[in-house]
Structure 1
Amino acid sequence: MDYEFVQKYMEPKRTGNIIRDLNPMSKLNLMLVLGLSPFIVQNYIYGFGMVLFFILVSAAAGCFRSFFSMYWKVLLLFGVFLFLVKAAFAPGEHVLFEIWGICITKESMIAGLNIVSLVLAFSGGFILFVKTTPMEDFTYMLEQKGVSHMVSFVILSSFQTITDLGQNAKVIMESQKARGIETEGNVLKRAAAYIPVMGPLVLNAISSTEEKSIAMDARAFSAPVSHTFLSELPPAGRREKGIVYLFDAAFIMLIIGRILLCIL
């Protein structure tokens, strides 16, 4: 018997990266606090500073490429659009220039930068959490905190379904290319190429759902007994808890300070 293989499952699961090895609940707490803090500060310099911080953390966690490949899409789809809309229609007094009858003011530019920094900061925290935390580890910790295994399975299955649909779509598109069907070109050609993909994609999703239900029944998923786990996660240490409490306290102080500024 390979005792090293057995020993791997007897010890807590670790990756060797200090950020990835944080407890999932600690990472969720930190990402929420950091992602929501720009909404309290309401300063685009702080918001973009938090964006840069998340990018640096992703590099330290060893997931910069996968993180940024998704993050720049959020920047293009939401960041640029929100900035243009806010800069064009937000009220202001100091006009900088005028385009097609739309006055761009200094105040509207600042408002556009503020809303973009808020969206990017919060989405950056969420994406970084997803990229550094396997969903099975997160749902495992939810069950350890008392969440029903049915709820944790729904969460895990939802994220896994998104991943499976993306992979199945790529496989079907490659098979379409192998058959000589045009799948590249302008927007209209790509849209037309995706229509035949929807049928097999939906059928695969339905069949995979049935397979999951059969596997769950075979493993007595609904049995009224305590569940076992193949691997365990290391508990949060005192230093880790101290860091989380420190960030939580700073976040509470930010809220109190913001309330006092509004009152005074």
Structure 2
Amino acid sequence: MINQTNIIKRLYPTTKVWLVIAITLCSVFFSGYLFQYGVFVIGLILAILGQVTGKYLSLFFKSIFLVALFIFIIQTLFVYHDHIILSWGIIHVSNTGLQMSYTMTSKIVAIGAILIWFFQVTEVKDIAAAMQNAGWNKKLTFVILSTMQLIPQMSALTATIADAQKSRGVETEGNLLTRIKSFVPMLGPVVLTSIEQNEERVLTLESRAFSSKVRPTLMLPIKKTGMDKILSWVIIIAFLISFYLGVFK
């Protein structure tokens, strides 16, 4: 349910979606890379306001930062470009390579940072309620929400099975080779348990009249406030002005 004590978490989900869409489109179409890298700082400020700073930084540096760093290194050092600055064996550093690396990684950083912030300050059940309020087809809503929850559910399931395997004497910690060996025995239980959970989920949905054409009653009613409407229009207008100045000027 929407947090009533925090100004960011209290916002209606679609208000935050407008902000995510605006920043994503600006990151894709704006030239250069300063704005795109700056989105990380914007996300950090919003994360501080939303009281999720630790989670925001942890997820960013464990995922987006590593991907961007890997792409930057490969694109800069190992992909051949014109205007070579430094060359040593298979390593080539050029102005073109640096510019392309900045452009590619900045967009990844911008989009990844704002998405991480959004999912840290917006609960899945609030997203579901907003979709139902908007009149979305409940089957489509279920598919989207299931996709959002897939990775956390699989991570939790894998951790549970790893603990069970460890209690049976299977080595799950150590060097890379040991981890690879322990991963293979877990594949079977993970797949079979996932299939079993899908069957249980289907039975649960049918027991709750999921196939019924009657509009369901929301257990977590959420409503847009006047602040949400004002902020939505401010974001849209600011985006249109920024997009025009950044792309057509």
Query: TM-score, normalising length from structure 1?
Result: 0.86
Q: Which of 225, 233, 241 in structure 1 is aligned with 2:229?
A: 241
Q: Does 1:47 align with 2:36?
A: yes
CA distance in 2, matches of 1:106, 1:74: 27
CA distance in 2, matches of 1:260, 1:228: 46
Query: Partner amino acid for 1:52?
Result: V
CA distance in 2, matches of 1:143, 1:90: 51
Query: Partner amino acid for 1:91?
Result: H
CA distance in 2, matches of 1:156, 1:224: 20
CA distance in 2, matches of 1:110, 1:13: 42
CA distance in 1, matches of 2:196, 2:161: 16
Q: Which of 127, 131, 134 in structure 1 is aligned with 2:120?
A: 131
Residue segments in structure 1 that go unaligned for 5+ positions in a row: 1-11
CA distance in 2, matches of 1:114, 1:161: 31
Task: Indicate the residue corresponding to 1:82 in structure 2.
Answer: 71
Q: How many residues align?
A: 248
Task: Indicate the residue corresponding to 2:244 in structure 1.
Answer: 256
SS in 1 for 2:195: helix
Aligned CA RMSD, in angstroms, stands at 2.0
Residue segments in structure 2 that go unaligned for 5+ positions in a row: none
Residue pairs, 1:61-140, within 5 angstroms? 61-88=50-77, 89=79, 91-93=81-83, 95-140=84-129
CA distance in 1, matches of 2:92, 2:190: 47
**Alpha-carbon contact 2:9-2:122 (below 8 Å) kept:** yes
Task: Indicate the residue corresponding to 1:170 in structure 2.
Answer: 159
How far 1:149 moved relative to its partner?
A: 1.1
Task: Indicate the residue corresponding to 2:182 in structure 1.
Answer: 193
Q: Which of 145, 148, 154 in structure 2 is aligned with 1:159?
A: 148
Runs of 4+ in 1 over 3 A off after TM superposition: 12-15
Q: Does 1:180 align with 2:180?
A: no
Percent identity over the alignment is: 24
How far 1:17 moved relative to its partner?
A: 0.7
SS in 2 for 1:104: strand
CA distance in 1, matches of 2:131, 2:241: 28
Q: Does 1:29 align with 2:18?
A: yes
**Alpha-carbon contact 2:172-2:182 (below 8 Å) kept:** yes
